[in-house]
Structure 1
Amino acid sequence: MAFTLRNGEPARLRTASVADAEALVELDTALVQDGRGMVQTLDDVGDLDAKRRRVDDMYRGFSAGEATLILVAELAAGVVGCAELRQLRPTLCQHVGILSVGVHPDAQRQGVGRALMNALVAHAEECGLLRLELYVRADNDRALAMYRSLGFTLEATRARFIRRSDGGFVDDHVLVRFLHA
């Protein structure tokens, strides 16, 4: 799916593949180094083989009929964003999808995150999911504003959930959006 960034640059969304593993490791590294919004450290990012296995494992679930999907956002320069929808597996929770999104710091505030989120929500609706949830650091004001503008509401706050490297804590919010049955 093609779209245009706020700065006029052309971009596209597509389904991620195992071949994207290196670009996804680079994206995760840039997000962790930026220090905003992430709950990982560089040690958590993992290596190329681990990322390949993760993408491959998610698609094994997708081919089994799950609504699971990984999308990447691409510019001419390469991958600048990634978003995941993971459908829960337990029978009584299969109407629930967990979302996550990450956009390279240099591409933020250009509409990449919104395009990724809109595509995941549309896919979730097509697959019949009824509840979407995501987790966001309480200090990530920009992401919170975007998620709220897309119809997500605060369901819970996990107090002192994230421990910063300086020993302090950050709360984590659980946001939800209910889709029509």
Structure 2
Amino acid sequence: MQLVVREAKAEIHDAEGIVNILNPIIEEGRYTILDTPFSAEEEVQFIKDFPQNGVFNIAINTQDSIVVGFQNVEPFASYTSAFNHVGIIGTFVDAQYRRQGIATALFNATFLDAKNKGYEKLFAYVRSDNENALATYLRQGFEVVGTAKKHAKIRGEYIDEVLIEKWL
């Protein structure tokens, strides 16, 4: 597969590609704490409103121009400049395209973009029952710094989240 990783655009094509990946993951209820699906129009608006100092990359399979993964980094907090060097990262890959190097391509691009925007550290929350995601982040140099017990409640069940970080 030939991949191109580029910045997400506030256009319907990119938004549809993103929600086509994200909504099945949300509906399955196993790999994210997000619990409400998004429309393509909502995603267009999300991209438009995305923080200027954030990073929002998509991976496109060039053979059919389909979005096969996406990753974003948002500022950790906006209420103080003490955290300006810290970003929160999220990564999603279409289920049918996993284990084909998409996440690695996204990480490579996102790490570079994040550094260029002044980030020094990336932080993530990973569901403790999402072993594949945790392993992917650990392969990219993230380290476990703790566990937030019963941090999310999805469909009536508490979910622990593993806190991870990586210095760029």
Which interval holds the TM-score relative to the shorter structure? 0.7 to 0.9
Identity over the aligned pairs, expressed in percent? 27
Structural RMSD (CA): 1.6
1:139 is aligned, of 129, 136, 140, to: 129
Cα distance in 1 for partners of 2:92, 2:4 equals: 15
Q: Secondary structure at the match of 1:129?
A: coil
Amino acid at match of 2:131: D
1:40 alignment partner AA: L
What is the total number of aligned residue pairs between the two structures? 162
Instruction: Describe the superposition over 1:7-45 as per-residue Cα deviations: whole angstroms up to 9, x where unpaired.
Output: xx111111110111122222211222444311123xx12
Q: Which residue of the partner structure matches residue 94 of structure 2?
A: 104
Distance in 2 (CA, whole Å) between partners of 1:32 and 1:109 is 20
C-alpha separation between the residues in 2 aligned to 1:176 and 1:40?
A: 20
Partner of 1:5: none
Residue 56 (structure 1) aligns with: 48
Q: State the TM-score, normalized to the length of structure 2.
A: 0.88
TM-score in terms of structure 1 length: 0.82
Determine if the alignment matches structure 1 residue 74 to structure 2 residue 63. Answer: no
**2:145 counterpart of 1:149:** no
Q: Is this contact kept in 2: 1:80–1:104, CA < 8 A?
A: yes
Structure 1: tracts of 5 or more residues without a match: 1-8
Q: Aligned equivalents of 2:75 and 2:136: distance in 1?
A: 22
What secondary structure does 2:24 align onto? helix
Q: Are 2:85 and 2:118, in contact at CA under 8 Å, matched by a contact in 1?
A: yes
Output the CA distance in 1 between the equivalents of 2:116 and 2:55: 12
Q: Deviations over 1:40-87 (max 9, x none)?
A: 23xx122222211110001xx32xxx2x11111111330111100112
